[in-house]
Structure 1
Amino acid sequence: MQNLLIIVVCMSLGYLLQKTKKFPDNAAQTLNLYIIYVSVPAVIFLQIPKIQLGWSALIPASAAWILLILSALLTRFAARFFSWSKAEEGCLMLLIPLGNTSFLGLPLLDATLGKEALPIGLLYDQFGSFIALSTYGMWVLATYSGEKASAKEAIKKVLSFPPFICIFLALALTGVNYPSWAESILSRLADTLVPVVIVAVGLQWQFKTDNSHIGAISFALLIKLMLLPALTFATLSLFGDLDLTDKVTILQAGMSSMITAGALASSHQLAPRMSAAIVGYGILISLITVPMWHSIIT
């Protein structure tokens, strides 16, 4: 409860700072850079070497891609059935398959399952959501907004992303015991992840929509926050009792829509007001649904 309270307080502070304009306009982007270059690498080097690598390590990343394909197909079918516009369909094709498994996912995993869940959450995020954004996301933009996507640029973006590089470096350190001073430094830097990232999310929190998008928004939130984690829970339960990897995968499957995906939808005129509403309301509702799923699976 205390960890969830920290998230609520930091989110509220970020939103308050946004509304009072006490921070520069680019404050959220600056904090995001700190997270990418400092906080997340510290978490990676602190936690990834502790992972016991085995077949179970494939579950988070493979689940992310399976859910992406299923949700994209379902969204495509729903768009045809409800006769949504091309812009609305493109927006949903970005925001339903791509989850906020890093900036929101990691703090919520920390709050519900503890720090031992973070390395598994990072596998889901980096080998699932992040690569999907750089590949599938670029395909969606090319298809629905007319922007040409370069495979070379997508690959370059993935291979040069600091946390992605750090994961491979940290895996090479599996079994290595850090000196106490090094572990202390990494731990202190890793502890900055939750407050900084949640304040950054609050600084970007938006609620903009109109009644014409209510149906599509409701569909997106229902699929993202309820159906996908339910499917993941049902599937993994078929294989026996849920372990930590299974629980992390279920919670990551139920995270709200990715903020970066929403920003891309808005910047490419794919129903910008709808994308802001899905991201904004999704974050708010996920503060209820993720703990709810946690209570169900534990």
Structure 2
Amino acid sequence: MLNILLIPIFLLFGILLQKVKKLPSGLSAYLNQYLIYVVLPALALKYLPFVDMDVKLLLPIASAYISFGLSWLIFGSLGKKLIWSDGITGCLIITAGLANTSFVGFPIVRALYGEEGVEIALLIDQAGSFIIVSSIAIIVASIYGKGKKRKRDISWKILSFPPFIFFVLAIGMNWLKVSTPSFIMPALDWIAFSLTPVALTSVGLQVKINWQGMKSYYLWYGLLYKLIFIPLVIWGLFKHVFELEGLPLQVSVIESAMAPMITGSIIAISHDLEPKLASLLVGVGIPLSFVTIACWYWLIG
């Protein structure tokens, strides 16, 4: 119960910090760097070498690709049929197609399903969401936006990214049956403990809501897809077609139900794909997702 209560507390704390005038500039960026370069590698070393690898874990990882693939198919088709601008189409594909599986996802999964849930969530994020946001999402942004990225640049960005390096290292340790040294486990435990307060404070600092923009149909198209439609697809497909059960099914649905990813919105903004809409999808989506995730948690048991 305490873990669940900490989620809105630290999110609200971050939102309130926006009102502090003497707050160091770029605080959220510093917190994000700590999360990316310290916390995510630590989580990989803490959990992944000990995960009991099962072929059914491929399905949770696949949920991220299904979500983005359907987003591209649906919004790409609607954009052509309804003659949307490339900016709107690209923004919805990227921002609605990517879930906040780490900064928001990890604290929520830990609160709801404990350490075993985090192990699965880490696989979804690192083998799914991260690779998509670092490669396929940039390709989509290049198609619908004005900027171009060389394939070599995309590949190097993935291979040189510290969380991905530690993800590959931890998976290799798992395959080779090599455990994380016991003497560093206390440090990893403390770093993992910092995930919830730091991640949600950072998210709160970045939540921006433009009340005038709430009238946008595109905003609600994106949020309906992200918070309702894709979790329903994942739940129906995994449970009734692939007969996935237990924690892998629950974590797959909850992670797919997360609000749009902040990094995805940044990619859309940097490629001039409706920046206001991209920001609004995150700003409205994160607070609203706490309500919809609670509903999904109740529905899937």
Q: One fold, TM greater than 0.5?
A: yes
Residue 71 to residue 141, structure 1, CA distance change in 2 (3 Å) = closer
Is 2:33 the counterpart of 1:37?
Answer: no
**Cα distance per residue 1:11-45 (max 9 Å; x no partner):** 11111112223422211111111111211222111
Shift of 1:86: 2.1
Structure-2 change in CA distance of 1:210 and 1:136 (3 Å)? farther
Asked if residue 217 in structure 1 is aligned to residue 202 in structure 2, the reply is no
Letter of the 1:148 counterpart:
K
| 1:201 matched to 2:190 | no
- Tell me how large the CA RMSD over aligned residues is: 1.8
Identity within the alignment, %: 35
CA–CA distance in structure 1, aligned partners of residues 126 and 244 of structure 2: 26
Which segment is superposed worse, 68-77 or 215-224?
Answer: 68-77
- For the residues of structure 2 that align with 1:247 and 1:61, how far apart are their CA atoms? 13
Structure 1 residue 291 corresponds to structure 2 residue 297:
no
Amino acid at match of 1:216: Y
State the AA in 2 paired with 1:206: K
Whichever residue aligns with residue 225 of structure 2, its letter is I
Counterpart secondary structure, 1:114: helix
Give the aligned partner of residue 260 of structure 1: 263
The equivalent residue for 2:123 is: 123
Alignment of 1:261-280 (within 5 A): 261-280=264-283
Query: Kindly tell me: are residues 275 and 178 of structure 1, through their superposed partners in 2, closer, same or farther at Cα, counting changes over 3 Å?
Result: closer
Instruction: Describe the superposition over 1:179-211 as per-residue Cα deviations: whole angstroms up to 9, x where unpaired.
Output: 654322211111111110111111111112645
Distance in 2 of aligned mates of 1:240 and 1:78: 31
Structure 1: runs of 5 or more not aligned: none
**What is the CA distance between 1:267 and its match in structure 2?**
3.0
Deviates more, 1:220-229 or 1:142-151: 142-151
Aligned residues: 298
Shift of 1:226: 0.5
Q: Counterparts of 2:224 and 2:214 in 1: how far apart (Å)? A: 17
**In terms of mean alpha carbon deviation, does 207-216 or 134-143 score higher?**
207-216
Instruction: Answer whether contact 1:7 1:198 (CA < 8 A) is retained.
Output: yes
The CA deviation at 1:160 is 1.2
- Name the CA shift for 1:265/1:209 in 2 (closer, same or farther; >3 Å): farther
Aligned equivalents of 1:294 and 1:56: distance in 2?
Answer: 21
TM-score under structure 2 normalisation?
0.93
Aligned mate of 2:232, from 230, 233, 240: 230
Closer, same or farther: CA 180–126 of 1 in aligned 2, 3 Å: closer
Check the 8 A contact 1:209/1:277 in 2, yes or no: no
How much has 1:79 moved relative to structure 2? Answer: 2.3
Amino acid paired to 2:245:
L
SS of 1:134 mapped into structure 2 = helix
Paired residues for 1:148-163 under 5 Å? 148-163=148-163
How far did 1:10 drift? 0.7
Alpha-carbon spacing, 1:44–1:22, altered in 2? closer, same or farther (3 Å)? farther
